[in-house]
Structure 1
């Protein structure tokens, strides 16, 4: 898929967060070329008439200068994009944002890209920083259907290993958890000891959009049924909580 790059100047870069426990969000990019079919950020297409999700990326060219501002509290990068999506390898916008950002800020970075390991030298300059890898174990057919353009599972695990080896505080964001598809136990066992904690998130079918809902209904009807039948969903959640507890890892959220 060809990606259109739209360069814009922003008025500000720190946005008040609605996420519990998070004070600010930073998005130097808007839109994401990984184009995951279930991405919750697709709602942005309502206000940005650039085309289908994944076909465009908005670049805030003055983001590095704007991030010099000191904000109090926790900052998350990013919520409507991936800070290390393919274009970052060329533009190095995220790297410049990190260089300019006040190192006293409490920063949490979330990505699914192994490119994140490039900036370990800058991570060391921050007083408080953590890096999360979205690891959901999709491979083969599921990857082709759900996130064909995203980095491979093994590449994400290797990036987590590198960050751990370099003493960077890390977490694993297991998302989206899809009944009958996501093997939570295998993900934890493969990454055990490489993350300070885990965050587990079950797929929000409504946020994933009607197109993905149809895809799941057609290709994984049993998964769809669990997510749409209240009784089966409650049973699934109960079993998932027991499984996570049995894995004996630190779980947040």
Structure 2
């Protein structure tokens, strides 16, 4: 059971140190996708929730909040610690309400989601002169997707979203994240989508806090042959796997003629 609350907040936009973004907007506290690798559960330190991450959602009341005047060279990201199109967006429309308020902004707006619900707002998205939508996915295997992202949209639906957005002339990108070492076949994804997206981003699987044990147990239970690799990366802090993968992804993107950005450990962005 998901515990639902509507909360009043004073502001919707926070400055961020994330690469390629100046502000983040999180219309919700919490997320119902229940991804086993979710780093955002650290937010519980600040929210006073007793429920497990994924078992609660706070819907921010946005109607009375004024939108700041953003500058043309600033970027606003939806979102950093929730999916702006999680399952409760269908009813509460917090993301849609904020986008309506932002219509006409000079800033660049970026939406990142795993949800097919984003297509509901194509009419609104097309009203922005400077906007892009990113689809997050790390596999074409929906069985694997169900294991790690049980309540997110299926692989098929995400591909359909990408095709629809692209057909509507909306600037799109694919965020291949998080890359599970030894599991995620990034080249198969590139081959499937490179004709339907403007560029591709890559991010490694980071493990820390309580979710590190959860993911390591998942590997132990489902793919024990990968335990030495995961131990080397996440317990012995050997980054050589990511260094090799960085070179491989750049070469693969060059092969398919698609631009790419690599966010391994949020280091310096690499572009083709």
**Do they superpose with TM above 0.5?**
yes
**Offset at residue 84 of structure 1 (A):** 0.6
Instruction: Please state how far the C-alpha of 1:4 moved relative to its aligned partner.
Output: 1.2
What CA distance in whole angstroms lies between the structure 1 residues aligned with 2:91 and 2:115? 14
Runs of 5+ unmatched residues, structure 1: none
Which stretch of structure 1 is more off in the superposition, 19-28 or 221-230? 221-230
Measured on the aligned residues, the alpha-carbon RMSD in Å equals 2.0
In structure 2, the residue matched to 1:39 is 38
Structure 2 distance, partners of 1:116, 1:88, is: 10
Deviations 1:136-172 (A, max 9, x none): 1163542332111111111101100000000000010
Deviation at 1:27, TM superposition (A): 0.7
List structure 1 runs of 4+ shifted beyond 6 angstroms: none
Partner of 1:156: 158
CA distance in 2, matches of 1:95, 1:231: 41
Summarize deviations over 1:196-237 as a string: whole Å, max 9, x none.
111100100226433223323443341523533658640453
**Structure 2 vs 1, CA of residues 102 and 240 (structure 1 numbering), >3 Å: closer, same or farther?**
same
1:169 match: 171
Deviation at 1:91, TM superposition (A): 1.3
Cα deviation digits, residues 172-199 of structure 1 (max 9, x gap): 0000101111000001111111111111
1:95 deviation in Å?
A: 1.1
**In the alignment, what sits opposite 2:259?**
250
Aligned length, in residue pairs: 251
Indicate the residue corresponding to 1:132 in structure 2: 134
Among candidates 234, 237, 249, match of residue 240 of structure 2: 234
1:11-52 C-alpha deviation (Å, 9 max, x unpaired): 111101111231111011111011101011011123332310
Question: When the two structures are superposed, what TM-score results if normalisation uses the length of structure 1?
Answer: 0.91
1:174-253 equivalence runs, <5 A: 174-206=176-208, 208-221=211-224, 222=226, 223-228=229-234, 233-248=239-254, 249-252=258-261, 253=269
Aligned 8 A contact 1:27 1:79 in 2: yes
* Alpha-carbon spacing, 1:108–1:77, altered in 2? closer, same or farther (3 Å): same
Distance of 2:24 and 2:237 partners within structure 1: 36
CA drift of 1:245 comes to: 1.7
Query: Could you tell me how far apart the structure 2 residues matched to 1:19 and 1:25 are?
Result: 9
Structure 1 residues 169-178 or 145-154, which shifts more? 145-154
1:89-123 CA deviation, whole Å, 9 max, x = no partner?
11122111111114222100000011101111111
